[in-house]
Amino acid sequence: MARSTDSVVIDRPHLVGVALGQEPADRVLRGGRIVSVDTRETFAADVVIAAGRIAALAREGDYRIDDETEVIDLDGRHVCPGLIDPHMHIESSNLTLGELARAIVPRGVLALVADPHEIANVLGMAGIEFLLGQSAGLPVDVLLRVPGRVPALPAHLETSGHEVNWESTLALLDRPDAICIGGDVNPALLLEADADHLGKIEAAIERDMTIGGQLPGFIGPELDASVACGLEDTHVAESVAEVVEQLRRGLRVLLTPRIDRLPAAEWPELASTLRRQGIDTRHLVLCTDDVHPNRLRDEGHLDHRVRLAIESGFGPVEAVQMATQNSAELMRLGRDRGSITPGKRADLVVLDDLGSFDVSMVLHNGQVVVRDHRLDVDIDTPGSPDWVKGTVRLPDEVKAEDLVVQVEVDGPVTVNVVEFGGPKTMRQVDLVSVGGIVQLDSEQDVAGLAVLERHKGSGAVGRGFVAGLGITGGAVASTVNHDSHNVFVVGDDHQSMAVAVNALSASGGGYCAVVGTEVRALVPLPIAGLLSEEPLESLAEALDAVERVLVDDLGCSVTFHPLYALNFLCLPNIPEVGMTDQGIVATSTLKIVPTVVGPASG
């Protein structure tokens, strides 16, 4: 059964009258070509709109207009459905919802299915209410992907700011804007048949909601077992072969270009493989998941994914389908959205060019909100209340000695090091202890890594080492640290690391890059340590500055948007290892791994 998220009664008799030419239309898009995701073709027709809905796809003369009807001549331009993002974390944009709407509506994005588990980890249910409350009156519909698990890990493995318990999860599932339960949980919970998570899945199924998942690297029995749990989508495929196997199990596979898994360079292989094997793409869905402000500025949003799919060899209409109808059907929204057909919402995008997905006009609920490539409506961005700020609660000013790994011996010691990569791994390295402090070693590309609990002021610090980043001469720190968003800091000198953490604490959270002991670039994110009230352009420029320091001054070997990569460095929910305020966590076993193995042998 399709779900409807409209809160108003649809005037179907009026739609019938307009479709039959008995009553005048509110608005007509005349002389365009319809991008039909139902038939994978384009054809000439006028779009007749009434009461915010599509009344008819007609020829001139078959519908009625009057002096109140706005007729817009498209002169052969294409019209496609509004884009629907089925999986996004608004917090990753670091923007308030109003500023995000300013950025994405002109790109044709008219619906977001948002999983607010990031802000929930910091501010709990109140944070979710705050974030979703910002959507009122915006020309984009924000629907709820209910967080599957907050916090992601039990307290003995990681300290979070808040919990979304069973009762709170049920309350979220019963919200009128809720359409899905999120799958951003450790997939080991499924393989262990975790009663709590399976119970949430059943509760969502009872409400006819979509069941989200994430199955990195899963094939064979693990894949079958996960799908048997009720999962309907996954968004972390690592290879073309994995996508094929997931499609064969009936999953919707959500695609977004990533650095570490199924990057854009592999999409042409995906397109050619599916075409060669005759595999239907109606279960392929485009999403954004996480989009930093500078990537949003430079590349775009879901529109970028559509262009990337076309450039990779998918047909233009097929690519549009992957961002509209396929999304709507996955999220059980197909009755109201996803195609240009009578009765659907008049969420429409006019394209100057289909192949490059060049958006010139956008209609939301039948109202023109973008004309000539520019936003044509006012968007108010209300100020944020004080209670969502000041969330970095460290007990004291951090000193260098608070971040070091101490042992009881001097000389060579063997330690476990988190190795950055896709996937993240762990390996053992021999370092030297001097005065009981294990020294960092840039010759081996071993930097310091620490995660500081920042929600409760407990003083908990996970201390360790990281390799594979190449950072020398300073440090970088952030409160954007999935999933619990404790402060993480990486550097080749503990004093630099302490300076970065203290600057971050004073600013209320964000990103900070330090060269030596000088704060060289800082991006304050005062709302929950995740969001800014700045507009996109200035926020993106500030993020650029931090990344330039990281690459140019600190020599970070991750040169393409390194902050995006670092956001996931410590995440213990994706293979094979993570770092929390309690120490190194092995993803598959959900157990703490000691940082120090012991004295080096030989």
* Amino acid (one-letter) located at 588: S
Residue 185 sits in the same domain as residue 214: yes
In a domain, 380, yes or no: no
Residue 122 sits in the same domain as residue 54: no
Q: d(Cα 345, Cα 339) in Å, to the nearest integer? A: 9
Residue 406 sits in the same domain as residue 308: no
pLDDT at 8: 63
In a domain, 402, yes or no: yes
Residue 218 sits in the same domain as residue 70: no
Domain count, the chain: 3
pLDDT at 388: 98
Considering Cα of 383, then 385, then 391, then 397, what sign does the dihedral take?
positive
Residue 425 sits in the same domain as residue 294: no
Structure token digits, residue 92: 């990753």
Domain boundary pick from 60, 76, 92: 76
What's 27's domain CATH number?
2.30.40.10
- In degrees, rounded to 5, the angle at the alpha carbon of residue 302 between the alpha carbons of residues 344 and 528 is 105
Domain boundary pick from 291, 308, 333: 333
- Please list the alpha-helical segments (H only) found in 315-354: 316-322, 325-330
Residue 499 sits in the same domain as residue 537: yes
Residues of the chain falling short of pLDDT 70: 1-8, 602
Residue 115 sits in the same domain as residue 48: no
Residue 438 sits in the same domain as residue 575: yes
Residue 309 sits in the same domain as residue 408: no
Strand partners, 414: 430, 598
What's 113's domain CATH number?
3.20.20.140
Q: Using one digit for the tens of pLDDT, what is the confidence trace for 132-170?
A: 999 999 999 999 999 999 998 899 999 999 999 999 999
pLDDT at 381: 82
Residue 493 sits in the same domain as residue 540: yes
pLDDT at 588: 84
**Structural contact between residues 194 and 224, judged by C-beta atoms closer than 8 angstroms:** no
Domain boundary pick from 48, 76, 104: 76
In a domain, 460, yes or no: yes
> How far is CA 224 from its chain centroid?
26
pLDDT at 573: 84
* HSE-CB of 300 using CA atoms within 13 angstroms: 20
Q: Using one digit for the tens of pLDDT, what is the confidence trace for 337-391?
A: 999 999 999 999 999 999 999 999 999 999 999 999 999 999 988 889 999 999 9
In a domain, 12, yes or no: no
Residue 25 sits in the same domain as residue 110: no
Q: Per the omega criterion (within 30 degrees of 0), is the bond before 483 cis? A: yes
The DSSP output letter for 107 is: G
Which domain range does residue 167 map to?
Answer: 81-153+163-251+283-333
In a domain, 436, yes or no: yes
Which is it for strands 596-599 and 411-419: parallel, antiparallel or unpaired? antiparallel
In a domain, 127, yes or no: yes
Report the candidate in 425, 448, 557, 427 with the shortest Cα–Cα distance to residue 499.
448
Listing DSSP states for 352-404 in one string gives EETTTTEEEEEEETTEEEEETTEE-S----PPPPGGGS-----SS---GGGS-
In a domain, 263, yes or no: no
Report the candidate in 175, 177, 156, 206 with the shortest Cα–Cα distance to residue 4.
177
Q: Which residues contact 276 (CB under 8 A, 6 or more apart)?
A: none
In a domain, 148, yes or no: yes
Residue 175 sits in the same domain as residue 53: no
The DSSP output letter for 584 is: E
